[in-house]
Amino acid sequence: MADTKAACGSYEVTKGDVDNDNIILNPNFDNGIENWSGRGCNILVRDSMGDGKVVPQIGKYFASATNRTQNTNGIQQDVTGRVQRKLMYEATAVVRLFGSNVTPSDVRATLYVQTLNGKDQYIGIANLQASDKDWVQLQGNFLINGTVSKAVIYIEGPPPSTDLLVNSLVVKHAEKPSPAPAPDFSNVAYGVNIVQNSDLYDDLNNWYALGNCNMAVANGSPRIVPPMAKESLGLQEPLSGKYIAVTNRTQSWMGPAQTITDKINLHVTYQVSGWVRIGSAKKGAQIINMAIGVDAQWINGGQIQVSDERWYEVGGMFRVEQLPSKVMVYVQGPAAGVDLMVAGLQIFPVDRKERFKHLKNMTDKNIILNPNFDNGLDNWSGRGCNVQVHDTIGDGKVLPQNGKYFASTTNRTQTWNGIQQDVTNRIQRKLLYTVTAVVRLFGSSVAPSDVCATLYVKDSNGKEQYIAVAKLQASDKDWVQIQGKFLLSGTISKAVIFIEGPPPSADILLNSLVVKHAEKTPPAPAPDFSNVVYGVNVLQNDDLTDGLNSWNTLGNCTLTIADGSPLYVPTMARESLDVHEPLDGKCILVTNRSQTWMGPQQDITNKISPYVTYQVSSWVRIGSAKNGPQVINVTINVDSQWINGGQVQVSDARWYEIGSSFRVEQQPSKVMVSVQGPAAGVDLMVAGLQVFPVDRKARFKHLKHQTDKVRKRDVVLKFSGSTGDSLSGASVRVRQTHNSFPIGTCINRSNIDNEDYVSFFVKNFNWAVFGNELKWYWTEPQQGVINYTDADELLDLCNKNNILVRGHCIFWEVQNAVQSWVQALPSTDLMKAVQNRINGLLNRYKGKFQHYDVNNEMLHGSFYQDRLGKDIRATMFKTASQLDPSPTLFVNDYSIEDGHDAHACADAYTQHILGLQEQGAPVGGIGIQGHISNPVGPVVSDTLDKLGVLGLPIWFTELDVVSDNEFVRADDLEVMLRELFAHPAVEGIMLWGFWEMSMWRQNAHLVNAEWDLNEAGKRFLKLKKQWLSHARGQVDDKGDFNFRGYHGSYTVEVDTTTGKKLTQNFTVDKGNSPLVLNISLGS
């Protein structure tokens, strides 16, 4: 075979070299120490040591590393020209220790690499405990991903007092081993319980107590097979209702056990299922787990936290991959003294491939039976009305769109009356389903009305829920197709899908209904921005040097050129543009305006590209303020759809800055930009209007520098030991485990039955806010019917996971968010209801919420102020503070940060807050919701700078970003997170959800319905990882180790030159001066 050659540095590597040759030169020291060197120590080559007691295991010689002062000292070889990137290498070293009073210690093979950018990296290859008794073989693998300028492999590790001996080192391209054959599962009896006497009909035969506890058989456990096992087993006989009661438990590990050694097959996956319960919840929540003991190694077979005296399902799985000598199963976990009950324990081999067929069938198959009514009304029923099947109605004018038949609902007396089908046993939890229904209305004088697809579910505890699946306006003119999707998080006992919605006078016609597992569509690729010229204005003749060429009038108004406008680029644009020329002082003067929408416009159709973010900047002014404050806005007309390009309210004859942004996500056929807004008859002036593609990532370098100043602190670790200890040179590794900056999310009660949802939430967020469950319309939908159950359960979840919670919200000032019974109250009763609400809420949860949004969206609504007077808002704040002084009281509003709403800009918000404070309201924090699209850093930062002068903490309380392209969404999210994390006035960020099935806005999610992390989610986790600090080095001569790190929790690991090891946790809090921490290594 001809050799295939590849250049690697100055060394030519052939395929034969790669496959067969050791890249270590002089690997057995036959040529002395040629090609070798000491790493901070001396090395010698020997043929024996210790009066001839130590001789080489291989060949004639070995090397010894002596005079070691650090555990990183050892023997090394430069392999820079001899390793190739993206090849797997296997390293094998024969090593030993030598010295007086040597204790067994770890020996490591490590690869040091330096990248082309000068970045150092240490790659751990292998680690093994060695001693002075015999040679041992150290083995491991490594692979280099990037191009390197230097690569050195070395042997290190034991305490400095120990000599390190190396007999040989081999580093070769790893051979690809032949895979083991597939296991033979032909004799496995799938679905058969290997636990003997699990139904306890033979009393406690086959069972024994683990530990000195008592066991007895009792009655009263569930007779149904736990749901997870039922999904794997299909039809099953009912359980016996008997259970093992375990009492007199003096240790948490005590419980019932059974030996199952002879029933276990290698490589077979076993599912574990059982019902468990505790005798009393007086000692608080308890963990119960199924443990599998395999030759004294304990495998987790599943666990559950129980908080009351109900029966709970435990489900898990395990597998054994080496032949065991003994296997036992036992149930354990609750605290000593807590009685334990176990029922229906099953361990059975599970045929996972059989489930694949089931899942494929569920994916491909419509779960609706008789979907086109070919079998009449089989499987269908009326929901509070009558249903019939037709082939035509209306004198033959109404025919089915698909197939031969359709159904009609008649005698409807309620809007929820319709046609339904029970789908209880045909849907699975945690699968996404799409729903498609072909519908129409029928009747006399029928007006177009909404038709809805709704899913009714009842969970295993009897709780009912109605899930809105889809809604579309239908008429009696033609068939329409309504589409939607749903996913069930929890285990259900009943599920019914039905079509409902229009007024009772209208009959609903249903031609077909399809409910199928949703297909996963691959994401669209990242847009190609390689040809975008950032920072260049797409407007022609923006400086007006060519008169009014390229400019047109929108409406019958007059344009002229005037002088006297500002000569500098507006602040927000200046921050985005690296280089910018001064303006020329010319402006467009618009007169004879007879409509608010009249002004200058320009066609920019050929200058706009999909997914590019455009920043808008301009100076604007009005001719006279006699008509009062005026709103001026830049408008982008995209194929007759109006996009807000920014607006500002002007109240005098000064020049004002407009700054905002926009984006289009499909190729437009026509795009016009115009400036408009003031009342008819008010002259308008526009200067320096720019619309330019903005390179948002170019700002990240500045933000990183700002972040390092704002979110980090200098830390000095001062180490001390016993008298005479030298700590200089001790190895230090600092690892940050958590960043303390608040990053939280909105959560909902309906989602916490989904284990994947809870797992992502508790792993990635340290704060939470409830989406609806604390709002007044949720806790008291009808007067006097108060229910805090959902809020209590969410709060309990957060408390158990040490997650802090914001209270959202006590009141909501926007009228359509106020429940109808509250709106109907006369003023005196309304005041009483307001008092009852705030007293009930704050007394119930005193000390449990860190923040409260007191009266949500006061810039956009005035229900309570209109009904109860201008002082009611301040009264709400003062009353809340009196009832619970501990939480910070926030204002909270939207459209503050994007330049899109003149009535909710930073200036308007500032005046609003100052007004509340003047009335005595104890406003403690500023909430900016942050439902933003196509964000631009300088626009957001400008808002934060203006609000920051109030000296109050700013939180983004409901952040989400939207794009149908997940790569663009990721960019948007990164822009916002970096901008907010870098700003000193921002003290917390709350996302308004993360999961596709629980978002307020579509295309804002980080995690897809079935728990695939999309690009936005990956970017989020990547940023969180970047915001953790790690440091590595050595203690200096003063006994110090210095680093600069983010605020939060840390672990430090220290290895001294004398072999002492220490691990200690510490916290870096906010502070301007260096944090000095004293760490004692003891005696």
Looking at residue 417, its amino acid is: N
State both tokens at 53: 């007691």
Q: Are 786 and 840 in contact (CB under 8 A)?
A: yes
State both tokens at 672: 């016009």
* Radius of gyration from C-alpha coordinates of the chain: 36
Query: DSSP 3-state assignment of 944?
Result: helix
Q: Report how far residue 308's alpha carbon sits from residue 286's, in angstroms, rounded to the nearest whole number.
A: 9
What phi and psi values does residue 276 have, to the nearest 5 degrees? Answer: -135, 160
**Beta bridge partner(s), residue 225:** none
Q: Are 909 and 946 in contact (CB under 8 A)?
A: no
Q: What angle do CA 820, 821, 824 make, to 5 degrees?
A: 85
Q: Report how far residue 502's alpha carbon sits from residue 498's, in angstroms, rounded to the nearest whole number.
A: 13
Q: Are 854 and 876 in contact (CB under 8 A)?
A: yes
Which residues of 651-786 form beta strands (DSSP E)?
656-662, 671-676, 684-693, 712-720, 731-739, 743-747, 767-770
Per DSSP, the residues of 174-210 read PP-PPPPPPP--TT--TT---STTTT-TTTTTT-EEE
Exposure letters 862-900 (e unless 16+ CB within 10 A, then b): ebbeebbeeebbbbbbbbbbeebeebbbbbbbbbbbbbb
Query: DSSP 3-state assignment of 549?
Result: coil
State both tokens at 1027: 């915001």
Q: What angle do CA 261, 266, 272 make, to 5 degrees?
A: 65
Q: How many residues does the structure list for the chain?
A: 1083
Query: DSSP 3-state assignment of 797?
Result: helix
Q: Report how far residue 973's alpha carbon sits from residue 968's, in angstroms, rounded to the nearest whole number.
A: 9
Q: Are 373 and 389 in contact (CB under 8 A)?
A: yes
Which residues of 929-1029 form beta strands (DSSP E)?
931-932, 954-961, 986-991
Contacts 24+ apart (CB under 8 A), 531-534: 532/609, 532/612, 532/693, 533/693, 534/692, 534/693, 534/694, 534/695, 534/698
Q: Report how far residue 205's alpha carbon sits from residue 577's, in angstroms, rounded to the nearest whole number.
A: 81
Strands 684-693 and 136-142 turn out to be unpaired
For tokens 């072999």, the residue is 1059
Neighbours of 47 (CB within 10 A): 13
Pick from 174, 178, 168: which is nearest to 83 by CA? 174
**Beta bridge partner(s), residue 504:** none
Which residues of 963-1074 form beta strands (DSSP E)?
986-991, 1030-1034, 1040-1046, 1048-1055, 1061-1068
Cα 772 → chain centroid: 20
DSSP type of residue 952: -
Q: Where are the alpha helices (DSSP H) in 919-950?
A: 937-948
For tokens 């308008």, the residue is 684
Neighbours of 670 (CB within 10 A): 12
Q: Report how far residue 76's alpha carbon sits from residue 402's, in angstroms, rounded to the nearest whole number.
A: 77
Give the 3-state secondary structure of 350-375.
CCHHHHHHHHHHHHHCCCCCCCCCCC
Query: DSSP 3-state assignment of 522?
Result: coil
Q: Are 913 and 874 in contact (CB under 8 A)?
A: no
Exposure letters 118-130 (e unless 16+ CB within 10 A, then b): eeeeeeebbebeb
Q: Which residues are catalytic?
A: 857, 958
